[in-house]
Amino acid sequence: MPATPPTPAGSGSRTARHGAARFEDWVHDLRSRWARRRGHVPTIIPYTGYGSTEWARVLCRVLLSRPVDADSSEARESSGEHGIRGWRSFTSVPVGDVPVEIEVGGQRIEVLADRGGVVDSKVPVQLAPGWHTATLRTDGSAPVEAPIHVLRPDATFGIISDVDDTVMVTALPRPLVAAWNTFVVDEHARIPTPGMAVLYERLVREHPGTPVIYLSTGAWNVAPTLTRFLSRNLYPAGPLLLTDWGPTHDRWFRSGRLHKQENLRRLAEEFPDIRWLLVGDDGQHDEDLYATFASEHPDRVAAVAIRRLSTGEAVLAGGRSKLDEHAYEVPWVSAGDGSTLADQLTEAGLLGGAAAESDDVRPDSV
């Protein structure tokens, strides 16, 4: 199928932008010219997407990086992680308003990355349930593949999970979490939350075809590192829905809360037959966000599971939210670890009996 004209993947227009956004664009332009003079080329960083049997949500980011010899040790170390790791993911220059070709399921379209280099596009395509790959290309970049999880049409249960302090113990003040995780700590040194990986795996086996979506306010820059952490600690594979730092076209800073709200509502609209288990922590925002969503869409929420932070973690997180968990129509459980949450979810009817084998095959690297 011939490529269609490029369509915007985000706020690609440079009109009516906030002054901070215009300044950021100017800085990016300077850095881009400097990087290209040093021989840096566009590099696509693919992220895991998801979809139905009629469409696929494809996610990636375009950055400038120095070319790597395919036979070098650095290339071998970066295989499957797409050549930009750790602190380089924050210092690499995003390439905005560049055309990116997406090929999936025999369909081919061309879209424009947004001003931060991010592509978030919904591609109409017929795909069978299970795992697929989309091939992504841009001028001057080698093609890469992005995993796509196509949900089963009969799926009625799914998991939406926070990341920091939910599946991974950070034990740092929230403003420092991303910087520490990116610039200092390797994924081998990150600490998984006790019992959470086992809980998710039990839920996936109990409900065959369960999608697991990790919704976080973290930056796209840390997606490859978080993906390696989740895989290494045996969490079920699934898309990471992150955000981009910095100013937007109409405000100084992106709102992490709004990012989560919009994606929760989007998932409810895209999969109206799925009831979601919403998993988060009590460090200020998740409980309030999930309570609002449950009030708006009580028929889309199977239960809310909240990991209670320790006293020290709560202090570093800036305090706890103070909601009455008994005030909501949906089952609401809370505990400090995944094992106790599993016991409570068993009492709520979401777990119990012999675990069923899932029909979905976990990809080697997602």
Provide the terminal-to-terminal Cα distance of the chain, rounded to the nearest Å.
27
CATH code of the domain covering residue 236? 3.40.50.1000
Indicate if 267 and 303 belong to the same structural domain.
Answer: yes
Are 284 and 184 within one domain?
yes
Domain shared by 286 and 244, yes or no: yes
Q: Tell me: do 171 and 310 sit in the same domain.
A: yes
**361 part of a folded domain:** no
Residues 89 and 179 in one domain: no
Q: Are 132 and 34 in contact (CB under 8 A)?
A: no
Give the total number of structural domains in the chain. Answer: 2
Residues 206 and 137 in one domain: no
- Parent domain of 324: 157-347
Q: In this structure, how many other beta carbons lie within 10 angstroms of the beta carbon of residue 262? A: 13
* 316 and 172 within one domain: yes
Q: Are residues 233 and 142 in the same domain?
A: no
Pair (129, 21) in one structural domain: yes
For the chain, the C-alpha Rg in angstroms (whole number) is 20
366 residues of the chain, pLDDT tens digit each: 444 456 555 444 444 555 555 555 555 565 655 655 665 678 899 999 999 999 999 999 998 877 655 444 444 444 344 445 444 555 578 888 889 999 999 999 999 998 888 999 999 999 999 999 999 999 877 899 999 999 999 999 999 999 988 998 875 545 555 455 544 455 555 689 999 999 999 999 999 899 999 999 888 888 888 898 999 999 999 999 998 765 444 444 456 789 999 999 999 999 999 999 999 998 768 899 999 999 999 999 999 999 998 655 544 444 445 555 555 679 999 999 999 999 999 999 999 744 444 444 445 444
* Domain match, 46 and 112 both: yes
Residues 126, 265, single domain; the answer is no
